[in-house]
Amino acid sequence: RNVLALERRLFASVPTSTSLSLLSTALKRKQVAPNGKSASTTAAQANTTQHETSTGSLRLLLSSLAFVAVFLLYQYPAPLKQAAELWLGRPTDQLPGTSKSTYIGLEADAPKQAAVVNAMRGLHMVAISIEFMKEDALLTSPERDAMGSDEYHPISRNGSNLTTRRRDREYQRARSWVANNMTLDRDANFNTFETTIRVLGGLLSAYHLSGEDPLFLEKARELADRILPVFDTPSGLPLSMINLAQRKGVADDDNQGLISTAEASTLQLEFRYLSLLTDEDIYWKKAEQVMAVIRAARMPPGLASIFMNPRDGRFVTSAIRLGSRGDSYYEYLLKQYVQTNLEEPVYREMYDDAVQAIHDHLIRRGMSTGLTYTSELIPERSPLGDISWRLTPKQDFLVCFFAGTLMLGATTSGALMHPVSIPPLPEQLTEQGRRDWKTGYELLRTCMATHDTQTGLAPEIAYFRIPSDGMDEMLGAAPRDWYIKGARPGAFPPYDARYILRPETVESLLVAFRLTGDERYREWGWNIFRAIETHCKVPSGGYAAIINVDEVPARQEDKMETFLMSETFKYLFLLFSDGDTLPLSKYVFNTEAHPLPIFSPTIRTGFS
């Protein structure tokens, strides 16, 4: 309707005489000069008519071109922008998401860094335990109410089960808690994946960053020994749960004994680093066997479904996606390659194979603005038992990690030289590397587009428009590109509409900034931080999830996930820090944002 109205306005601006000029010119050219008028007069009239005709035709042509240009810009903004960049010559010396005019280098932004530090103060809980403690009246609210808990409830002010990073006093308090209060002899079932990435990863990172304080390594080794029994399955794939006291792996009955692909393949950074520190290869071999099983079970497209069977080591027919239960599988393929200083090509091969399949089957573009997003493949079984796959235009907030993964992969797996410059240049990357960089940047722009809400925060799940969705017929003002499914004015918001303090977008912003030194990524991160401060901060201390990102004032939920401190605020802190603070050339972050050092492996196994 907007385009048609624009068309009417454009053509209304053209004089009526102009629209008839061609017809009148043809008629006049056929007329014979009447008696009483000289030939020169007739010629002059003809010249005047021709001039008017030319002017009118030019106006008509320009108006038509203006309409076409506006129509194309409305329908296809991204391709036209890319064409313009090609015409201007930009890609010959710059990659998308980089610009000489916005390059600021990797110096710290002290004021913004200080703002993030102030937000972190009072939230220094040790993210490596399952205990609850109240003691010192001098402690800040979350620390006093939930020290040692895995989750904080900022409104009711208690914990239900974070490592510190403040000054020496806070560090010593946390260290004392680990030494005197943290016990791993827990007779209960804990998630193998979460315990590894949060607790084991946190202890190993604390060991390295503390100057190798043996307390943290001792605790890490004890914990890993308690976790090892989960690998005692016929295939070597781990079980989903571990009873720490009984040292016994436990199958997940809720998922019929299956384990999610992400959970099985996101233990490797932690166990491999522990093996390096202890010179015990059992940790390395157990974790690496999982990758060997996954590689042998490769599905033909190169994608991984979200569940595997620990009994036979095969993928189970289930959804294929980069969101929950699939996400960190793809993340750790690249990070295992990076962790061992690019010296294990098997992980590069697996990563390249997966990324190619993602481009072939999951990457799509929005129907109006051309936003790049990742879709999901959902299996459907016919009455005859045949399986078909339905492509669904759904993207979890979690998927935003993949933008930074692709950009980091482009400068490692997809690089022709090491290290690449900051920002990287097109000639430093392979064709695949340039493709992955471009997709990563475009996906990051999409993630920022989903922050275009009333609160400036993105929803848990976004759906993207497709031509067959029928929304234009059902709704008077249908969204152009993405929407929150089930959101209706006056109704209680669907779960998809929530923001639960997730870090994945700022994680990718950090990677993008460290690789480019481009100020746009800091600006985007600052906008997200201000939105969190405005809508999620609780006056009595802490931060809360919000129920609807498109509602102001925001309704808060009495829940603060530990990844706010461990990941979201840590990534924001590093985004505004200088490039020498935990540089990507020396560290790889586990999926809970615990930094682990890059090293050359001393242990070699058959798989490697």
In 503-515, which positions are buried (b, 16+ CB within 10 angstroms) versus exposed (e)? bbbbbbbbbbbbb
CA distance 409 to 512: 11
C-alpha angle 582/180/178, rounded to 5°?
Answer: 20
Q: Is the separation of the CB atoms in 424 and 349 below 8 Å?
A: no
7, 131, 151, 194: the active-site residue? 194
Taking CA atoms, 481 is separated from 76, 424, 499, in Å, by 12, 31, 20
Q: Which residues pair with 152 in a beta bridge?
A: 159, 560
* Active-site residue, selected from the candidate residues 327, 352, 436, 567: 327
602 annotated among ligand-binding-site residues:
no
Q: What does the buried/exposed string (b/e) look like for 21-51 if buried means 16 or more CB atoms within 10 Å of the residue's CB? A: beeebeeeeeeeeeeeeeeeeeeeeeeebee
Among the options 504, 518, 561, 592, which is catalytic? 504
Residue 567's CB is within 10 A of a number of other CB atoms, namely 23
Rounded CA-CA distance 99/136 in Å is 51
Structure tokens at 355: 């990324």
Identify whether 194 is a catalytic site residue.
yes
Give the Cα separation of 519 and 525 in Å (integer).
10
Kindly give, in sequence order, each residue whose CB lies less than 8 Å from that of residue 256, ignoring residues fewer than 6 positions away. Answer: none
Contact criterion met (CB below 8 Å) for 597 and 589: no
Query: What is the C-alpha R_g of the chain?
Result: 30
Q: Considering 436, 460, 481, 567, which one is annotated as catalytic?
A: 460
Angle, helices 431-449/504-516, rounded to nearest 10 degrees: 130
Q: How far apart are CA 28 and CA 269, in angstroms?
A: 85
Residues noted as catalytic: 194, 327, 460, 504
Annotated binding-site ranges for Ca(2+): 591
Annotated binding-site ranges: 591
